[in-house]
Structure formats: C-alpha cells, structure tokens
Chain A
Amino acid sequence: MRARAATAVLLVVAASAPLWVWNPYHLHTLIMAGIFAVLALSLNLLLGYTGQLSLGHAAFFGIGAYASALLSVKLEWSPWLGMLAAVVLPGLAGWGIGRLALKLRGAYFVLLTISFAGVVSLVSVNWMDLTNGPLGIPGVPALAVALPGLPELSFRGKGAFYYLVLAAVIAAYVLCRRLVASRVGRALVALRENEALAESVGIDGTHYLVLAAMLSAMMAGAAGGLYAHYTRFVSPEVFLFTYTVTMVIMVVAGGKGTLAGPVLGAVLFTVLPEALRALASWQWQMLLYGVLLIAALFFMPRGIVPALAARFPRAPVSS
C-alpha cells in the first residue's frame, strides 16, 4: 500500500511539474533529466542486469538522433517514422555488436562498444554529404499529432514536450520492469550471478545477452530521436563520450540492477550540475564526476537506491 501511495504521489508531482515550474530553463533541465532517465534505464538493462558494460551508449543515442533528423529533414518523412528509425537502426547496431562481442563478453564487449562509438563519431564528422559534418543538421521538425476532427497537437513547446518525455520515461520504466520480471529477465540475472549454473539448466547465454544489448540500444536510440526533435538540431556533439560517462555515473550512483536507481540517478545528475553551475565550471564538474564515481564504488558500491532500501526496509524499491 505504501509503495502504491508513494508511486501515486511521485506521478502527481511529475505530471504537475509544468504547472509549478514556471522558469523555462528549469523545465528544459527536467526534460533533459527525462531523456537521460531513458538512457540510464537502457544502460542499466545491460550493466545492471547482465553485468556487461557498454561504453558506446552515446553512439546508439547519436545514431537515433541522426536517423530521425536525417529522415525528417532530407527525405521529409513524418517525424514519427523518423522516431521509428531511431529505434530500429540503433537496435540493429546493438544486435551486431552483441553478436560480435558477447560470446567473449567482459573486456571485449567494453572495448568493441567504445571503439564503435569512436568510429560512428568519426563518420558523423567526415561524411559531409550525409551528415553535414561538424556543422550539424538544423531545422529538425517538431513532433506533432494530428487526430481527425481535432486541432493539431504540437510538441514544439517545452510544456507539451515535457509530457512526451514523461510518457517515454514511464514507458521505458514499465518496459524494463516487465522485462526483468519475465523469463528473459530471470535468465539475464541467472547468467549474471552464475553463468555455468544458468547454462546447465538450458539458458543460452549469448542469445539472451545479445537480446539485452539490442533492446538497450533501441531504448537509447529512442532517447536520441526524442532529443533530436526536442532541440531541433543535431551535430556530432551527440556522440560525445561525456554523455556515456554521465549515463554510467547515473546508473552506478543511482543503483545498478534496480529500476528506480537509474531514474533517480538521471534526475540527480542532471539537476545537480545545473544547480552547481554558478559555483563550479564545467571542467570542475567533470572532475567531480570522476571523483564521485570512484567514491560511489568505494562507499556505496550498490548505489543510492539499495542503500536507502536497506535503511528504510519498506521503501518502494524493486531490486
């Protein structure tokens, strides 16, 4: 009961945010927190539930952003079809990388993902004809819904877009939750905990890990598509390694292998840097990120959410 009540309160607070957050910049920060929450949930699917670390998540995010932006700008497709491509293409990339590296796992997967991100970023800078190079692609159309008989609902404004992002976060959360509770989720956790035992009862390790990598890449791609239609501009900056690092810190500090952890981490690490912006420059903040990551691993190795759950045994946490 308490868990339900807490969830309801959280939802009401989240849904009413545009009513009491009157500063557009603060609303922008919340939208970015939502996009990062989807990203952190997607990374957590791999890092938290399979133990495989992807350092190429900025690549899936960026491919999603570029796919949707290019299709809707150059081919003038509906932005919604662009969003579909923003899910499918990164999914294919995730599948391919998973197939290549997840037989060996561990360090191999990390290294392949990180160098994949490097190459995709190189392509975005060098393939001028397609991507316009470092100049990026301006004029990405806003998402809009036109139902027959009703006025068109555009997600151009921050308030409207906030709800779209909130819906995406809830969808990603529910998807992860259902996935974790399903056969697939149990197989992934079994593989993480004891691979030999899991395989002895007939779980095909590589198969499930590739599936997880693909789903994770699809979610990250969706976040990229949202980002492209929100900022209406895409440049090679979407591939910055900083984005991947931020996601890793959100997941590790929030609590990997929990569902609430990545969301909490995403909100904390988007809102805090904005709040601290006046106190510390960007470089100091990145330095702090590094120290925080190390400190979290030393002093709170399981993350904030499990630490809170241990202190308040009945707090609403699903681990």
Chain B
Amino acid sequence: MDQLLQHLLNGLLLGSTYSLLGIGLTLVFGLMNVVNFAHGEFYTLGAYGAFAALVAASLNFFLAIPVAILAGALIGAACERLLLRPLRAASIDTTMLVMIGLWITLQNAELLAWGGVAKSVPTPFPTEPVAWGPVSVSRLRIFVFVMSALLILGAHLVLTRTRLGRAMRATFQDRETAALMGVSIERIHTVTFALGAGLAAAAGALLGPVFLLYPSMGDLAAQKAFCVVILGGLGNFVGAAVGGLLLGIAEELGAGYVSSGYRDAVGFVIIVLMLLVRPSGLFARAERVG
C-alpha cells in the first residue's frame, strides 16, 4: 500500500512535466495545424539552456530556468519565421516533413555543440528527501511540480483571459475575419509557436536537473508528448494537462509492478488502446483549444 502511494506520487510529479510537454505540442497542433516533430528538440534546448546559464554564465539556479525558457521561445519564434511562414499555404504533410528536418538538424547541432557525454545540472536543493508519513519525495521534484503547475495555469490564463489569447483563438478559427478585426495574423502564428516551444523548453529546463542531459534526450520527451496529445485528443488543452498526469502515473505503475525496462513502452500501449477505444481522445466533447 505504501509502495502504491509512493508510485502514485512519483507518477503525479513526473506527469506534471509531461502535461507541460503535451500542452506545448497540442497548442501548436490545434491552433496552427502543424505536427511539430521538433518539439522534443525545444525540450533539449531548454535543458541545455539552463545548463549553459548555470555553468557557463554562472547564473543563479532560479534565474537560469526563466532564461532557458526565454531562449527556447525565441529560437522557436525564429524557426517559425524562417521555416513555417513561407510554407503557410503548404499541406500539413510538407510542414511535418520540414519539422522532421528541423528535428534532425537541431539534435545534431546539439550533439556537435555539447558532445555526446551526458551532463548533470547542479541544483541548490539538498538531496535528502522530505518524508510525509509513508511516502518521501525529493525537494527538487516538488519544485518541478509546482513550477509546472504554475506554467500550465499561466498558459491557460493567457489563452482564455487575455487579448492575445483571444486573438490567437480567433486567428485559428477564421483567419480572414480575424485579420479584418485588426489581428496581426503573422505575428499570432509566431507567438503561438514560440509559446509551444517555450513550454517544451520549460519542461526541459525543469526536468534536466532531475535526470541527465544528453543530445538525444528530446526523442523520448517528444514520444511522451505525442502520447499525451493522443490521450487528451489532438488540440485539446485540458485533455493534454490531464493526459500528462495519467501517463506519468501509468509509467510509474508500469515500471514499479511490471518491468522497469519497458517503462517507455507504456506510452505505446496507451496509444494503441486509445486508437482502439477512443481515438478522439479521453475528452472528446471539448473540441477546441482554450
């Protein structure tokens, strides 16, 4: 029983970062109709960005994370300007292939820049865990969970409560009308992609210190993000948030009770089950983002 509680708690903590990853991906898909295969690379950029800010620029840990998120969002904005804007009229398949090209390019650029040896990010948190009754958890993980929750809430508020969020939703519902209402369409596309990339970078900057950094770390992250998006329904914000938590818990239970070697196969099982049973996602009724 205690063990089960521990697994559930670990799953919840891990799942919060999966939610963050999934939301970034689902936003870009739902709003821009772009399958962002480079999503995992923004995760990697976030992690290495935090590492660079901490170690190379010797910034404070709590300052390094926002710097990394900002860097991820800026690089995302640049990629959107350079690669997606000229292809606005192209089919979803073309943009998908371009994103695959971006994925390979970024990953190998990271490999060349940082080398293949795994790196670890030093944190200011003491390593001994906090015990709550039968369960215990590291302080770093609690910090990661709180930050993820705040970022998810923030993104949700931006989408639903601000002028920018309304302009975003309007643009992707009806470009022409939104443009007539004075929305700068091109800017909205760039901001949306930057938001998605920034959320992925945030997940990377937060999870980087928990695990190790290596150039292909984004592949696994992207795999989780895609699973979360299918679980929640393509383009569904709340679905992705809940889906991330579910995936985290399912993985912890799978690793704890079935086999730790197959931890990363849990996502595949979930995708297969979803395609069999509920292909439009767990929350099919709430179709729209925001």
Nearest CB to that of B222 among chain A residues?
A114
Q: How many residues on chain B are close to A (CB under 8 Å)?
A: 42
Decide yes or no whether B27 CB sits under 8 A from chain A.
Answer: no
Decide yes or no whether B136 CB sits under 8 A from chain A.
Answer: no
In the complex, the answer to whether A297 meets B101 with C-beta atoms within 8 Å is yes
Decide yes or no whether A139 CB sits under 8 A from chain B.
Answer: no
In the complex, the answer to whether B261 meets A108 with C-beta atoms within 8 Å is no
- Nearest-Cβ distance from residue B39 to partner chain A, whole angstroms: 12
In the complex, the answer to whether B264 meets A104 with C-beta atoms within 8 Å is no
Decide yes or no whether B262 CB sits under 8 A from chain A.
Answer: yes
Per-residue interface assignment for chain B, residues 107 to 123, with 1 indicating a CB less than 8 Å from any chain A CB and 0 otherwise: 11101100000000000
Nearest CB to that of A52 among chain B residues?
B93
In the complex, the answer to whether A293 meets B96 with C-beta atoms within 8 Å is no
Interfacial chain A residues near B279, Cβ < 8 Å: 103-104, 108
Nearest CB to that of B269 among chain A residues?
A119
In the complex, the answer to whether B98 meets A126 with C-beta atoms within 8 Å is no
In the complex, the answer to whether A294 meets B268 with C-beta atoms within 8 Å is no
State which of A123, A248, A283, A286 has its C-beta within 8 Å of the C-beta of B100: A248
Contacts A290-B104, A294-B101, A297-B94 given: A284-B112 contact, CB under 8 Å? yes
In the complex, the answer to whether A297 meets B98 with C-beta atoms within 8 Å is yes
In the complex, the answer to whether B271 meets A112 with C-beta atoms within 8 Å is yes
Interfacial chain A residues near B48, Cβ < 8 Å: none
Q: How many residues on chain A are close to B (CB under 8 Å)?
A: 39
Interfacial chain A residues near B100, Cβ < 8 Å: 55, 245, 248, 293
Interfacial chain B residues near A114, Cβ < 8 Å: 223, 226
In the complex, the answer to whether B264 meets A283 with C-beta atoms within 8 Å is no
In the complex, the answer to whether A294 meets B98 with C-beta atoms within 8 Å is yes
Nearest CB to that of A118 among chain B residues?
B223
A79 to B285, CA, bound (A): 53
Nearest CB to that of B275 among chain A residues?
A100
Question: What are 16 A-to-B residue pairs whose CB atoms are below 8 Å?
Answer: A107-B29, A107-B35, A107-B92, A107-B234, A115-B223, A115-B267, A116-B268, A122-B261, A122-B265, A286-B111, A287-B109, A290-B101, A290-B105, A291-B101, A293-B101, A294-B105
- 5 closest Cβ pairs, A-B complex: A290-B105, A290-B104, A293-B101, A294-B101, A287-B108
Interface set of B (CB-CB < 8 Å, partner A): 29, 35, 83, 86-87, 90, 92-94, 96-98, 100-109, 111-112, 219, 223, 226-227, 230, 234, 259, 261-262, 264-265, 267-268, 271-272, 275-276, 279
